[in-house]
Structure 1
Amino acid sequence: GGTIQAIKTGGTIRELETKLAPAPPPGFLGIAHTRWATHGQPSETNAHPHLDCRRKIAVVHNGIIENHIPLKRRLLEEGHVFSSATDTEVLAHLIERFYKQNLGEAVRQALRLCRGTYGIAVVAGDQPNSVVAARQGSPLVVGLGENEEYYVASEVAAIIPFTKRVIYPADGELVRLSRQGYTTLTLGNQWVEREVEEVALDIERFEKGDHPHHMIKEIMEQPEVLEKCLAGRLLSDEGTARLKGLNLSDAELRDIQRVIFLGAGGAASAAFAGKTMVEEIAGIPAEAILSSEFRHSRGLIPPKSLVVAVSQSGETADTIAAMREVARKGIKVYGICNSPGSTIARETDGGIFIHAGPEIAVTNTKTFTTAAAACALLALLLGRLRGMPLGEGRRLATHLQRIPEQIGSILERREEIRELARNYAQSRTILCLGRLMSLAAARHAAHLIGEAAQIHAEAFPPGEMKHGPLTLVDAETPSIVVVPRDSVYEKTISNIEEIRNRGGRVLAIATAGDPAIRRAASDTFFVPHTDELLTPLLTAIPLQLLAYEMGVVKGLDVDKPRYLAKTVTVE
């Protein structure tokens, strides 16, 4: 009848390690959680794990129990005593209510009363050889070790150092782990068997190597990962792309009348790039919609639409919910994703894996460029199937083939960006501006600057400046303007002059060989020439470096910005 020892602290895992160092707890079984509770202020009291009244059951939980208030009210009436303001503690007390020496059954009965999302791990003090895990709407992976060892995590990255053999429980499933083995069953008490999969990733891919941060390592990897993303798919001689993973015939692709991209956070910037690429390259109407908005709207999908969910992790809660809403209407959904074992990868009807490798930093850098490249491949394929001339297809494919090498040349000039970062790092607000294709790069920049440098940044098309944002311009509020040599170059130059005439500083990200931009802007950084529809793949790179270097100048944890998590698995 042993109790459970729960040790918590605020801050990072390193601080917890320091707290444990004088007297490491004995044992061979434990659960832990690194995120603050969604409900309740960040504090040691509200941190996980949460225990029941007798401190004999402990729970860690990723997600939101939406009906926790009525459940808590009922438990309080029954005499349960709560010590935190979290929704998770409700789970511990519910399991306590049903617990009769069968932990799996108690968890199953408790979860049948819960509404919401969860990925949980549960232990009981009097069953020191058992862990019960379950999921609904939040990611969960179980690792199978060589010597009766088991690992439970929300992401496979946490398991790779110990084993590559994993199972992925489905929503509404529960896994019992003990020294005798493991069993999987549904909340309806039906036994199920999950296939054991082998993860094709090495531990080295998850480590920083010689770099001080994961973010800069991932930025520097982009030439390599883009080559992998394009390999075998970009057919330069034929001026088209081969995307067998879509599981769509040429006739089905020709029949598409609209393309709708769904994305959240950093993936939304890639989705906006994809929208413009499909419209301009393929001549097909396209939309990019924020998943969090789509899932709560009527979600009108015209007939013959191709719906594409864009997600680095494949576990983004809003994107999964939006995707399932589309599927509920009887419409097929396709994915652009970086995680083969993820929920989006498993539930879509086909898709494009971007092959970026693990991205550990919260900021999305290499997954933005590879997702945007995947969108370019899709647009090229659709364009060639709808009458794009061979010569035009070859020209675009040639430009796309050169992108990895051109990115490499930009990365060699990191010192230029470091100097610019010193000049802009103390800004309180930065405006990020770009027209057409460059708006996606501006959105990407604003996102990264907010995360890595903790500077308020907003993205606008420069044509909107006179409709409000222009009033924000002053000597203390710089603008980053993405201004490649494209079809709207002269209009963007006029916008730069507007800002400069009002005392605003301008950092221009421009095309090499453009002397006029030096006279117009306060500072410049040049990228190689490419087709204007591919420019975000190049202009994004100095913007990523700038966000990183500004965060470093300010002494921030660029890999783990405060209050944020890599995978957003709650609404």
Structure 2
Amino acid sequence: MCGIIARVGDGDALAELMTGLRNLEYRGYDSAGVAVRCEDGIDVCKREGETDVLDAALVERHLPGSVGIGHTRWSTHGPPSDANAHPHTDDDGRVAVVHNGIIRNYESLRRELREDGHRFTSETDTEVVPHLVARELDAGADAETAFRAATDRLEGSYALAMVVADEDAVYATRHGSPLVLGLGDDANYLASDVPAFLEFTDRVVYLEDDDVVVLDDAGYRITTTAGDPVDREAETVDWAAGDAQKGVYSHFMRKEIDEQPTSLRQTIEGRTDSTGTVLDAFPPGSLASIENVVFVACGTSYHAAMYGSTLLRRRGVPATAMRANEFAHDPMPMSDRTLVIAVTQSGETADTLASLRVANESPASTLAVTNVVGSTAAREADDAMFIRAGPEVGVAATKTFSSQVAALALLADRFEEDGAGIEFGREPRSKQATARASTTDGGVDAGTIRSLPDDVETVVNDGRAARLAKQYADADSYFFIGRGVGYPVALEGALKFKEITYEHAEGFAAGELKHGPLALVTPSTVIVAVFTGQDDDRTLHNVREAQSRGAPIIGVGPESATEIRDAVDEYLPIPDTDPELAGMLANVHLQLLAYHAAEIRDRAIDKPRNLAKSVTVE
């Protein structure tokens, strides 16, 4: 939520600030603004709307200066407007601040400041910060001391960056919201995410909560809130600047759908060999003592977690997936034989971090499955497993879902190899394994997992989803159904569809259709059914229940499933593979179906209304 960019260095700041804002627009696009330290103070320009609107306003204005901050907003307090756009300033325009997060005690601070004579021009929580700083400056404090004093009054989550008139410096801190430092040859940067400055440098320092950073002509200093120096290691990210650009594509989402074979190869590379699964964080035998697993996640990551929990249960490991926004406030019992797995693309999702912290206070072990090295989740969990999907800019997650599921499939195999879990009743684990093998053709072997990228590429190159999106464009509703690993894929397919088309779409467990949702089925309700090669006869029975009510059926399933192909109205085939991996292939068809349906409707595919990429507020 919201994107921050700051820059201190040689030359003009404005062009690089605008590049950073455009690269961060996936984090919010309700409004955008910049503040540059000029010769006569601070010059601010901000506008409601996307960065293109701000760009147009800046054509007639030049903001000279080498020090500045910028912001692209996802609204929390106050609707999108010029007044509510960041940066916010004090009464005299001496202080300008940008903010990501929520200041929970802003109302009491606002009342206090108003009583002191301060005037407010916005509805935002952020505006209290420059006024707090200005009050400290009026009392004789220097800028850094004033900034520390102001942030000490704040309650909630925040990443803040500030410029002050007459000082060529940026002051910044984070508490519960992400902030990363970029180290360039001629300039240094601060941003909410690495892609903001990836065109200028690939050397980064991941800041931790309550770090205070000062960027100036001398470089940068990191201290604690008490002022003690902090040494944070600089790292080189392995993302190229082009990874975060659209290139020849019209939309990031389509680019990222097409990148899935590559991202999957990166996820799998070096993690399988002739002896089994190779995971650096979990050497052989290290998972043997785990008796149960709890996944915590939100949104698309929650669907990946559901998929992973299904794979683990099939291997005899009791596993459940919980929405992080519920687990954080109502956690399930945990012991020292519990592993809590936080699945989060960014590693900064507020609800997931809250759940991770609850788990860290229990006897349980914790693992972060994330895309971002140096993220808060990766640092705070006991161990981290990186999905290696590369930058994802489209708000609707695509390649990261595939890589999350692939990573969890590898982890599930390591659990099985280590003999983790508990016996069910009196049945020995060996019989459980035999039963599973009989229903999944012997389980997922390393060769099948390694074939995933090529199988996904086959689906990516299949153009039938575009025709079906057009054929059923006039439907009233779209229901997605599946069972087993097909159930979380159905939920994910419905989520993608509603996110970017704004049409009514819902996902259901196939067997639940007759327990209520069937009442909503009409000839104008498209049913998209996911078949995986396991229990397909039962799913087909549920399909026929809807079909008898006149609903058109789109089946997605194995190439060789001729009975299913003959029973449905339209069929999107996937390469024959292990049923446990079939859901991943089916999901790519659903991504393409949603993409083309949104394209037909001329939706803002990369920037769906009311949504943002990284949800850093609870």
Partner residue in 1 for 2:318: 285
Question: What are the equivalent positions in structure 2 for 1:347-358 lying under 5 Å apart?
Answer: 347-358=380-391
Of residues 257, 260, 265, the one that matches 1:219 is 257
Alpha-carbon distance in 1 for matches of 2:366, 2:269: 24
Alpha-carbon distance in 2 for matches of 1:35, 1:456: 27
Structure 2 gap segments, 5+ residues each: 1-38, 420-429
Alpha-carbon distance in 2 for matches of 1:101, 1:162: 34
Task: Tell me, yes or no, if structure 1 residue 557 matches structure 2 residue 604.
Answer: yes
Partner residue in 2 for 1:308: 341
Task: Tell me, yes or no, if structure 1 residue 117 matches structure 2 residue 166.
Answer: no
Render the CA deviation track for 1:283-339: whole Å, top value 9, x for unaligned.
110010111111111442244011111111111111111111111224321111111
Letter paired with 1:551: A
SS at match of 1:460: strand
Partner residue in 2 for 1:93: 131
Alpha-carbon distance in 1 for matches of 2:610, 2:329: 24
Partner residue in 1 for 2:178: 139
Question: What are the equivalent positions in structure 2 for 1:54-453 lying under 5 Å apart?
Answer: 54-99=92-137, 100=140, 102-127=142-167, 129-147=168-186, 149-235=187-273, 237-238=274-275, 240-244=276-280, 246=281, 248-280=282-314, 282-386=315-419, 396-413=445-462, 415-453=463-501
Quote how far apart the aligned CAs of 1:426 are. Answer: 4.1
Q: CA contact under 8 A between 1:111 and 1:187: conserved in structure 2? A: no
Alpha-carbon distance in 2 for matches of 1:23, 1:568: 33
SS at match of 1:205: helix
Segment of structure 1 superposing worse, 135-144 or 36-45: 36-45
Quote how far apart the aligned CAs of 1:393 are. Answer: 6.8
Alpha-carbon distance in 2 for matches of 1:430, 1:446: 8
Quote how far apart the aligned CAs of 1:381 are. Answer: 1.2
Quote how far apart the aligned CAs of 1:181 are. Answer: 2.2
Alpha-carbon distance in 2 for matches of 1:176, 1:259: 42
Alpha-carbon distance in 2 for matches of 1:426, 1:338: 37
Render the CA deviation track for 1:239-289: whole Å, top value 9, x for unaligned.
x21111x2x454431111001111111111110000001111x21100101
Alpha-carbon distance in 1 for matches of 2:498, 2:536: 27
Letter paired with 1:285: P
Alpha-carbon distance in 2 for matches of 1:191, 1:550: 53
Quote how far apart the aligned CAs of 1:228 are. Answer: 1.8
Partner residue in 1 for 2:558: 511
Q: CA contact under 8 A between 1:205 and 1:358: conserved in structure 2? A: yes
Q: CA contact under 8 A between 2:522 and 2:549: conserved in structure 1? A: yes
Letter paired with 2:487: L
Letter paired with 1:405: D
Q: CA contact under 8 A between 1:277 and 1:376: conserved in structure 2? A: yes
Alpha-carbon distance in 2 for matches of 1:524, 1:24: 56
Letter paired with 2:546: I
Alpha-carbon distance in 2 for matches of 1:3, 1:83: 20
* Count of paired positions: 562
Render the CA deviation track for 1:49-99: whole Å, top value 9, x for unaligned.
111111211111000001111111211222211111111111121111212
Q: CA contact under 8 A between 1:481 and 1:496: conserved in structure 2? A: yes
Q: CA contact under 8 A between 1:311 and 1:338: conserved in structure 2? A: yes
Quote how far apart the aligned CAs of 1:407 are. Answer: 1.0
Render the CA deviation track for 1:317-362: whole Å, top value 9, x for unaligned.
1111111111122432111111112111222221221111111111
Quote how far apart the aligned CAs of 1:570 are. Answer: 0.9
* 1:31/1:77 CA distance change after superposition, 3 Å: same
Alpha-carbon distance in 1 for matches of 2:388, 2:285: 27
Quote how far apart the aligned CAs of 1:13 are. Answer: 0.9
Letter paired with 1:140: L
* 1:477/1:43 CA distance change after superposition, 3 Å: farther
Alpha-carbon distance in 1 for matches of 2:159, 2:442: 46
* 1:475/1:395 CA distance change after superposition, 3 Å: closer
Alpha-carbon distance in 2 for matches of 1:425, 1:190: 60
Alpha-carbon distance in 1 for matches of 2:471, 2:522: 16
Letter paired with 1:329: S
Letter paired with 1:371: Q
* 1:55/1:424 CA distance change after superposition, 3 Å: farther
SS at match of 1:9: strand
Alpha-carbon distance in 2 for matches of 1:331, 1:78: 49
RMSD across aligned positions (CA): 1.9
Alpha-carbon distance in 1 for matches of 2:75, 2:43: 20
Letter paired with 1:492: T
Alpha-carbon distance in 1 for matches of 2:568, 2:390: 37
Q: CA contact under 8 A between 2:253 and 2:605: conserved in structure 1? A: yes
Segment of structure 1 superposing worse, 55-64 or 293-302: 293-302
Alpha-carbon distance in 2 for matches of 1:24, 1:524: 56
TM-score, scaled to structure 2: 0.88
* 1:122/1:540 CA distance change after superposition, 3 Å: same
Partner residue in 2 for 1:532: 579
Q: CA contact under 8 A between 2:211 and 2:222: conserved in structure 1? A: yes
SS at match of 1:551: helix
Alpha-carbon distance in 2 for matches of 1:532, 1:36: 40
Alpha-carbon distance in 1 for matches of 2:161, 2:574: 48
Alpha-carbon distance in 1 for matches of 2:319, 2:413: 14
Structure 1 gap segments, 5+ residues each: none
Partner residue in 2 for 1:498: 545
